[in-house]
Structure 1
């Protein structure tokens, strides 16, 4: 009997790890737009995964690609689908492309892999990562550039444990406004720690890595350093990829029409800076972030998600319960931490359109939210997003439109307690602007030829700035919510308060795919900012040319 129980226990344990495992696809907006495009054109949600929590697993994307009906697709769409299949070929059932002339019969046997080895035990894919950019900013009297070299390795062991690692070394001189942003925050957006390079540049390592395990048929786990993104938009008001990678553990459960995702993360609460604003050595303080999101497909065209998150300046075991209501837990602890609640949705319409949105509630006082006496209270803090996608605009093949509106009230994502603001390594976890803003975004994507694509992104910002370092008008997440607000009162707080700023950004880019995942980009950016404290508008004109391999292009749309 004892032997039988031991055998049964072993069988149950082994059975939980008998499912194939996959790495995730790096969150690249151009790449992910293709996946969204074909789901919208298909009319119904794909049966492989929910799109509300990114990044996606490679095996899930491969399963979705197998379901696409290519009969009515254009030549360009057929090229894109073939590109996606080749990029995830190890999970595609049909035969994918082989290179016509692999080097030494080993290098680039597959168009997507510099080198791969695949047997019953090990599956490994190795790729170089390169990004060479040169550009001129009218506000600078020197050339700016990016020089990135690195490697990306993904694969699995025994088809049960997946892995991914990425490492690159980078020397960069940014356009003027990105340079100013990095100096203000003491961090390179999306990367964090940096050292000086020459007189005007930044030098930094970029590293990400994780392991994945399929716990059961419906539950998967991921642990490592990377970024996450919630929502369907260009921005996210819940959790975005803007800050640098952080350590997290994620459980993803998919049952029926439900997807339940739990994320627990350790973040950098602050950074020690030297006298000229550079990160310096020391044990940086930490904070802990937990998030639950439950997504539900209502029918085949409407998805709704609800989330709750907590930001705490120290870890507490009670937040590690994956199925408890965080607000109740926080009350039991004496209300010491920052809890946010909210929802997101998407609605696919007419095989060509998608409506989407988010609402993130930071703090809520019923009488002040709905009552006239409490109108525009500083305690009513929330972020809002509404968006629209139109595929094949006016039946023009491969012409896609996206419109998006975002806003965050003053003091949203800030907090009165130390190390509880919605930041990681001194950069926002959601929108680059922080809070106290309104934003409108328009994106036109056009792919007239299989290897050639154009992208125009227009952005309008209206936001309030602080008149000085001591005053807090509610937009800078690095400031304490209660400090710098003397004399401002509880009521009368509106979006744009403080020093009124208006900004227009136009970014035009053309990309040509020279070979699989090797792109030549040419682009021009126009940026104009007017403000109450400026005698004349600040205008920046920036042109660039870049060559990149196995890496997403940079966006400077903030």
Structure 2
């Protein structure tokens, strides 16, 4: 009852204010978002319309940014002109410039616009509908069954009275994963990025996916979103704060942008754990829930530097105190005398010269001054933090549309774990931040190249070093689902180092070619090589995976973990 009262109160508060025309949020897609963000880096200045540290972005704000690009001189190559046209067509209802109509609409009403299977727009109601399809097939040596994905569904977006925007998406999927992804699912009991699943043809999985949100403006500076989706914090390929790896979750987001400041509040409910039947499948029982609160203040310093500071808290029960959008969570925790899971940290980006960007993150889970600086003991179990450092180079070596990215991530053992039940930084048995959890180091290198306007090339290589647990009843700090106060924590209070436990080294390289046949219709070809060595393996485990795909309005699959 109290949650219904809370929701009703929030809705009354939000709708009582003056509202302004705005758009739905664009689902987070690394390829799509890179096309937007590369022009900020190329200009060497912070985005004048919105802060990029908290994703996803709103369509009307992206459209306003595209209009500034069209009026400037950054768009030079044929690929850049194609990208500007592609992004503008995708958000045409908010573009001030003239955008394309389809040359040959079907039956006069189908695909009148390149981006919309069907749309209707008048002074009150705006509506867009599209099919979402992902058909792929692949081969992995040594595996009997064909690797595949078969996803079908629909997405809707639009607005009412130009004041309340909405988006909804649903698909049904049957898939057989590459071997290392299947091993991950069997070990964790969760399909990355998805929720409830069923078995499909023995070694495959079937699942229904649904996401949706509504959003509106309280004022010119305050925006509200209520939805069931994912969020992503930072500028990197990975995030150590909040990533898009876990299952979508319900949340309320309040975003306030004033002058050089952007303050984001996120309140959400997570799935703390899942119950399984005798065959290892999720049951229909009510799963335990937990509550997550996060706020981040982003500040533009000068024209090309942005820094964000954040605080997050995970609780195993709802508490009104954490609804205060501008309170310091750590103080509340002390006042209540509750051992809630609190994390602090910062992220930054620096467009230090046109075409180049430095970025990074630092997350602090637990801090004891003497142990952190090695005064009272080295490598304490309470020394829990993570670090990210990255570099982006757009139009590298003066080659148009050749973009490079280098990234380093590391997280100390036991970070994100907690000693009390249902307080670890997880959702539906998957990490809320990095896919590896903790106790790892990782190097990522990405090359993106667009040699032709419709051809997108992506080569991603990564090296991972981490320590695994030898058994379920031993905890060396990687598995964020485990209790860090377990009596079998491996090392003890001191001497805990990254890679402890069973040492693993993974090298992965992925080549992906995507050709856009028409707006948001892609033919993909990819090949992945993966090699894993471990102390408990007699010889390296090497495999390859080759697949071809047809995608329509869907995000490309990556298996880079």
8 Å Cα contact 1:70-1:78 kept in structure 2: no
Answer yes or no: is 1:525 the counterpart of 2:528.
yes
Report what 2:22 is aligned to.
21
Cα deviations by residue, 1:94-145 (Å, 9 ceiling, x for unpaired): 1100000001110000000000000011001100000000001114111010
Report what 1:447 is aligned to.
450
Report what 1:509 is aligned to.
512
Distance in 2 between residues matched to 1:368 and 1:543, nearest whole Å: 48
Equivalence map 1:14-413=2 (5 Å): 16-68=17-69, 69-70=72-73, 73-413=76-416
Query: Residue 349 of structure 1: CA displacement?
Result: 2.0
Query: Residue 72 of structure 1: CA displacement?
Result: 5.1
8 Å Cα contact 2:225-2:252 kept in structure 1: yes
Query: Residue 13 of structure 1: CA displacement?
Result: 9.2
Answer yes or no: is 1:492 the counterpart of 2:501.
no
Query: Residue 370 of structure 1: CA displacement?
Result: 1.0
Matched residue of 2:214: which SS?
A: strand
Distance in 1 between residues matched to 2:79 and 2:188, nearest whole Å: 42
8 Å Cα contact 1:519-1:548 kept in structure 2: yes
Report what 2:473 is aligned to.
470
Distance in 2 between residues matched to 1:475 and 1:13, nearest whole Å: 41
Distance in 2 between residues matched to 1:72 and 1:511, nearest whole Å: 22
8 Å Cα contact 2:345-2:361 kept in structure 1: yes
Query: Residue 487 of structure 1: CA displacement?
Result: 6.2
Cα deviations by residue, 1:412-465 (Å, 9 ceiling, x for unpaired): 000000000000000000000000000000000010000011110001000000
Per the alignment, do residues 72 and 305 of structure 1 end up closer, same or farther by CA in structure 2, a change over 3 Å counting? same
Tell me, which stretches of 5 or more residues in structure 2 are unaligned?
1-12
Distance in 1 between residues matched to 2:14 and 2:190, nearest whole Å: 44
Per the alignment, do residues 132 and 204 of structure 1 end up closer, same or farther by CA in structure 2, a change over 3 Å counting? same
Cα deviations by residue, 1:483-524 (Å, 9 ceiling, x for unpaired): 153562200000000000000000001110000000000010
8 Å Cα contact 2:316-2:421 kept in structure 1: yes
Report what 1:424 is aligned to.
427
Distance in 1 between residues matched to 2:374 and 2:533, nearest whole Å: 34
**Bigger Cα displacement from structure 2, 273-282 vs 343-352:** 273-282
8 Å Cα contact 2:200-2:206 kept in structure 1: yes
Distance in 1 between residues matched to 2:376 and 2:518, nearest whole Å: 62
Query: Residue 265 of structure 1: CA displacement?
Result: 0.2
Query: Residue 276 of structure 1: CA displacement?
Result: 2.8
Matched residue of 1:67: which SS?
A: helix
8 Å Cα contact 2:348-2:361 kept in structure 1: yes
Matched residue of 2:333: which SS?
A: helix
Distance in 1 between residues matched to 2:76 and 2:360, nearest whole Å: 28
Distance in 2 between residues matched to 1:190 and 1:139, nearest whole Å: 26
Distance in 1 between residues matched to 2:408 and 2:431, nearest whole Å: 18
8 Å Cα contact 1:192-1:425 kept in structure 2: yes
Cα deviations by residue, 1:521-544 (Å, 9 ceiling, x for unpaired): 001000000000100000111000
Distance in 2 between residues matched to 1:219 and 1:392, nearest whole Å: 35
Answer yes or no: is 1:549 the counterpart of 2:540.
no
8 Å Cα contact 2:43-2:74 kept in structure 1: no
Matched residue of 1:26: which SS?
A: coil
8 Å Cα contact 2:129-2:155 kept in structure 1: yes
Cα deviations by residue, 1:176-216 (Å, 9 ceiling, x for unpaired): 01111111111110002100111111111000011101111
Query: Residue 70 of structure 1: CA displacement?
Result: 4.0
Taking only aligned residues, the RMSD between alpha carbons, in angstroms, comes to 1.2
**Bigger Cα displacement from structure 2, 16-25 vs 356-365:** 16-25
Per the alignment, do residues 330 and 239 of structure 1 end up closer, same or farther by CA in structure 2, a change over 3 Å counting? same
| Count of aligned pairs | 547
Query: Residue 47 of structure 1: CA displacement?
Result: 1.4
Distance in 2 between residues matched to 1:335 and 1:121, nearest whole Å: 49
Distance in 2 between residues matched to 1:443 and 1:14, nearest whole Å: 44
Distance in 2 between residues matched to 1:67 and 1:520, nearest whole Å: 31
Query: Residue 372 of structure 1: CA displacement?
Result: 3.8
Report what 1:434 is aligned to.
437
Distance in 2 between residues matched to 1:255 and 1:546, nearest whole Å: 44
8 Å Cα contact 1:355-1:387 kept in structure 2: yes
Tell me, which stretches of 5 or more residues in structure 1 are unaligned?
1-11
Cα deviations by residue, 1:372-413 (Å, 9 ceiling, x for unpaired): 432100001011100000001110111100000001000000
Distance in 2 between residues matched to 1:62 and 1:405, nearest whole Å: 32
Per the alignment, do residues 487 and 96 of structure 1 end up closer, same or farther by CA in structure 2, a change over 3 Å counting? closer
Query: Residue 43 of structure 1: CA displacement?
Result: 2.1
**Bigger Cα displacement from structure 2, 236-245 vs 334-343:** 334-343
Per the alignment, do residues 14 and 475 of structure 1 end up closer, same or farther by CA in structure 2, a change over 3 Å counting? closer
The TM-score with structure 2 as length reference comes to 0.96
